[in-house]
Structure 1
Amino acid sequence: MSKIKLTKNSIDTLTADLAEKLFWDDALPGFGVRVKPSGVKSYVVQYRNRQTGRSRRKTLGKHGPHMSLHQARELANGYLSDVVRGGDPVAEAKAVRSSPTVHELAEQYLELHAIPKKRPKSVANDKTMLSRFILPTLGTHKVFEIEHRDIQALHNSVKSTPYQANRVLSLLSKMFELSIKWNWRRDNPVKGVEKFHEEKRYRWLSDNELKKLTTALDSHPNQISANAIRLQLLTGSRIGEVLTAKWTDFDLERCVWVKPSHHTKQKRTEHLPLSGAATELLVAHRDTIGSQSDFLFPGKHPQKPIVDLKRFWRSVLSSAGIEDYRIHDNRHTHASQLVSSGMSLAIVGRLLGHTNPMTTQRYAHLADDPLREAAEIMAKKMS
């Protein structure tokens, strides 16, 4: 290896015939120029890792209009100063290049957390949010590069649907929380991003609308799906619990539905008493479909349940003339009927599987109706 005084003029005259040559600066140890037979000249820095003793070499850039000798020397001096302080620029650059991207974080999130621990429907929702919102914007970025403003910008881009935007934010928060545990970064960039205000839905059917719905169900040609909706209305259950229910979950003699923990939102086994009407519905339904399937509501394949009722539900609502009403709102209709008939919020909450009493509180004003009727009794006596 040659050691010379590197100047612009001396570098311009350097050549290499058969193989590349290295020329080291006599003023700054570890800084030099690599010359290839093609005539290409590049600035390099070489040092030894202070912890491992391993020799490292890093190319700084090509000699030419984009990098002068002065710029290269300043850059080399900075790298060598880092080495003195215990750093390893080559290893650090390699770590940056090989560090995981948000796309890789998403894959690990699904494989190690979502799929083993969440319900299939929740996993499907996560995949949709990843493919629609998160990965197109952040997927190629390194996990350690993501900043608070990146998350804020993504959240703001979905502001037209506040509920969706907040679910995306929650998913990102969980992903970056896991990235901290996996030592991929030290902080959670989602922290401090405020959620959008969400208008809670409190839609349920009036007595007249409920009559229209039951009439539409009675006249629909698909009575298997109609029975699924009837069972949901009679029990206040989530439609996912209804569609995935198996005959082994029911004791029709004792009139009890035992919901397995892996089917309930709260991940706990629930024992739901069945009304006489619900029991009669199930008995008649079993007689209709026979014993060809383990599921109450089998799909096209006997050993798989109906996946969803979207098309059926649109048809029923159109026939009934009901607007702005989701299948999930049947739970609200069930609860509203119980509360307005005098049932306590605590009992209704238990029937619906609510773990937080505040969730049932949305129906509190309906509890005034039976009380007001009772109060009117005395008023009528006095009048």
Structure 2
Amino acid sequence: MPKQRLSKSIVDQLEALDTETVYWDAALPGFGVRIKPSGSKSYVVQYRVRSSGRSRRKTIGQHGPLMSFAQARSIATGLLSDVVRGGDPVAEARAIRVAPTVQDLCNQYLEAHAIPKKRPKSVANDRSMIDRLILPEMAAHKVSEVGHKDIQSFHNSLKATPYQANRALSLLSKMFELAIKWGMRSDNPAKGIGKFQEEKRHRWLSQDELNRLGQALDRHPNQTAANAIRLQLLTGARIGEVLTAKWSDFDLDRGVWIKPSHHTKQKRTEHLPLSSAAVTLLSGVMSNRAGSDFVFPGRSGDKPMIDLKKFWRSVLSVAEISDYRIHDNRHTYASQLVSNGASLAIVGRLLGHTNPMTTQRYAHIADDPLRAATEVMVGKMKLTVSVNKGT
């Protein structure tokens, strides 16, 4: 192919031939300009990979307003210098082009980790956060190019919803930890980002509210859903555990609920003692059993009830109770036990807490029976306490 000392003026003067032609620069070996029969001119570099001896050609850009001769020659100099140091610009560009994106990482996380290893509800929560929060912000970002600053900005953008922001940050951190194991990058950009302060809910029902809730449950036409709530209040179980419970999970003779590991948050089998009231409730439900394996079946019978939101709103409206979630029934259960003398350790066991600190939110309630006990001696001695105001 033609070789001559190239310059801007020479490139401008070069004319197209009947076939594609490359004019190589005599001053910078490996740098040239390619001219197609259409007249289009593009700058290229050609080199031989030192490790394999293979010849490579890379297009730098098209000659014109956006790519001058001087710019192209400067880029070519840098690329050819990389080759001398053992680099392969074509392979590196291809690697960047096909490198996995955050979209790819999310897909692999769901398919290879979440779906086979997490509970269906947890998978649904992860998928929701991915679709609503993560992908709209960084779907097309290359996994290897996401930086600490990108994750920090994303987390800060969710400041108005701190709980959601922290859950999304934890999910991203887990995905990037897996990205390291999967060879997508060498570090975790989500590591070291401080979470927002979360206000823990301390909402449970007073005795009066609990009475009103019971009356509202008694009057509701959907007694299947009402019984599910009653069982939750009698056991402190998560509503998901209640709704997915099967008759095979219960030994009513011994009064035990054997929660399968795939239904519990901690992914371990739990043996929960049942109160006599819970056994009576379940025995009554069983007597009206319609052949389903589920204690609280949905309409089809082959699947459990799924959504109690509409039911729960109507019950709370009748009971005149506000700012109270179904999950708060666990707090009501725990508060009743603690206020009647049950230790925090026992309550934690019944609730399935693996971390004792989780049960500490009820610690101040435990003071009530202790305070009542201190009054016993006062009554026995019939002491009259007076204040000495001095002379």
- Which residue number in structure 1 is paired with residue 302 of structure 2? 303
- Which residue number in structure 2 is paired with residue 212 of structure 1? 212
Q: Contact (CA 8 Å) 1:44, 1:59: kept in 2 or not? A: yes
Distance 1:9 1:216 in 2: 90
Q: CA RMSD in A?
A: 1.0
* TM-score normalised by structure 1 residue count: 0.98
| 1:249 and 2:249 matched | yes
Give the CA deviation at 1:369: 1.1
How many aligned residue pairs are there? 382
Give the CA deviation at 1:65: 2.5
Deviations 1:222-243 (A, max 9, x none): 1010000000000111101000
Distance 2:325 2:236 in 1: 14
For 1:259, the aligned partner's letter is K
Q: Percent identity?
A: 70
- Which residue number in structure 2 is paired with residue 179 of structure 1? 179
Secondary structure of the equivalent of 1:257?
A: strand
| 1:62 and 2:65 matched | no
Correspondence list, 1:38-57, <5 A: 38-57=38-57
For 1:361, the aligned partner's letter is Q
Deviations 1:205-260 (A, max 9, x none): 11111101101101111101000000000011110100000000111111111001
- Which residue number in structure 1 is paired with residue 37 of structure 2? 37
- Which residue number in structure 2 is paired with residue 341 of structure 1? 340
Distance 2:277 2:93 in 1: 69
Secondary structure of the equivalent of 1:46?
A: strand
Range 340-349 or range 5-14, more displaced:
5-14
- Which residue number in structure 1 is paired with residue 387 of structure 2? none
Deviations 1:132-188 (A, max 9, x none): 110001001111111111111111111111000100100110111111111111111
- Which residue number in structure 2 is paired with residue 203 of structure 1? 203
- Which residue number in structure 2 is paired with residue 3 of structure 1? 3
Deviations 1:116-140 (A, max 9, x none): 1111111111111111110001001
Return 5+ residue gaps in structure 1 as ranges: none
Deviations 1:37-63 (A, max 9, x none): 111111110001111111110111122
Q: Contact (CA 8 Å) 1:129, 1:168: kept in 2 or not? A: yes
- Which residue number in structure 2 is paired with residue 294 of structure 1? 293
- Which residue number in structure 2 is paired with residue 228 of structure 1? 228
- Which residue number in structure 1 is paired with residue 372 of structure 2? 373
For 1:251, the aligned partner's letter is D
Deviations 1:322-358 (A, max 9, x none): 0111111111111111111011111111111111111
Distance 1:380 1:340 in 2: 21
| 1:151 and 2:182 matched | no
Q: Contact (CA 8 Å) 1:15, 1:36: kept in 2 or not? A: no
Secondary structure of the equivalent of 2:58?
A: strand
Deviations 1:246-303 (A, max 9, x none): 0001111111110011111111111111111000000111112x24100000001101
For 1:350, the aligned partner's letter is R
Q: Contact (CA 8 Å) 1:102, 1:142: kept in 2 or not? A: yes
Q: Contact (CA 8 Å) 1:42, 1:63: kept in 2 or not? A: yes
Distance 1:233 1:90 in 2: 65
Distance 2:380 2:10 in 1: 115
For 1:256, the aligned partner's letter is V
Distance 2:248 2:9 in 1: 89
Deviations 1:94-126 (A, max 9, x none): 111111111111000000001011111111111
- Which residue number in structure 1 is paired with residue 280 of structure 2? 280
Distance 2:290 2:247 in 1: 9
Distance 1:348 1:363 in 2: 9
- Which residue number in structure 1 is paired with residue 388 of structure 2? none
Return 5+ residue gaps in structure 2 as ranges: 383-391
* TM-score normalised by structure 2 residue count: 0.96
For 2:71, the aligned partner's letter is Q
Q: Contact (CA 8 Å) 1:258, 1:270: kept in 2 or not? A: yes
